[in-house]
Amino acid sequence: MKFELEPIGVVDAMRPHAEDDFWAGEESCIKLAEAFKADAVAGLDSFSHVEVLFLFHQVNPADIVSGTRHPRNDVRWPAVGIFAQRARNRPNRLGSTICKIMRLEGNRLYVSELDAIDGTPVLDLKPVMAEFLPRVPVRQPAWSHELMQQYWLKRG
């Protein structure tokens, strides 16, 4: 079974290329496609955060991984399946990030700390509701904490 998705918008951001770290403080604008008017996001700014689902559009299909690999190709970390990491070269090239909503201006949504680059197709937006977050403590392996140490830091 195959599905076709039509982007609902595009990311307008400062970064032109994917990078692994230093996403803190980044502000991006999600410009909705012309088919969507401001009423499509009406009320979204009453939430503090939004989950942005997007396509890693610069990933070469030949680079997609379907099995195991070392996260960031770093042998210090264990080889784990692609679904046990958040790498961009995954089978459907889907990304998901929870971002702080900064403001709405018509059909433009400004967010902070969206780890998507300029021109990234946005596939969906979902308001973040506490009831959809984990209801128990989150558990993750030590290597993932190490991998993420600089991800949400400011560059510099």
pLDDT digits (tens, 9 = 90+) for 5-55: 999 999 998 877 777 765 677 899 999 999 999 999 999 999 999 999 999
Q: What's the pLDDT score for residue 98?
A: 96
Q: What's the pLDDT score for residue 23?
A: 66
Bin 43: left if φ > 0, else alpha if -120 < ψ < 50, else beta.
left
pLDDT digits (tens, 9 = 90+) for 77-94: 999 999 999 999 999 999
Name the CATH superfamily for 9-147.
Answer: YaeB-like (2.40.30.70)
Q: Is the pLDDT of residue 143 over 80?
A: yes
Those residues whose C-beta lies under 8 Å from the C-beta of residue 154, and which sit 6 or more positions away, are 22, 24, 25
**Domain residue spans of the chain:** 9-147
**pTM of the complete model:** 0.92
Q: Measuring CA to CA, how many Å separate 106 from each of 33, 63, 88, 146?
A: 12, 38, 30, 40
Q: What's the pLDDT score for residue 81?
A: 96
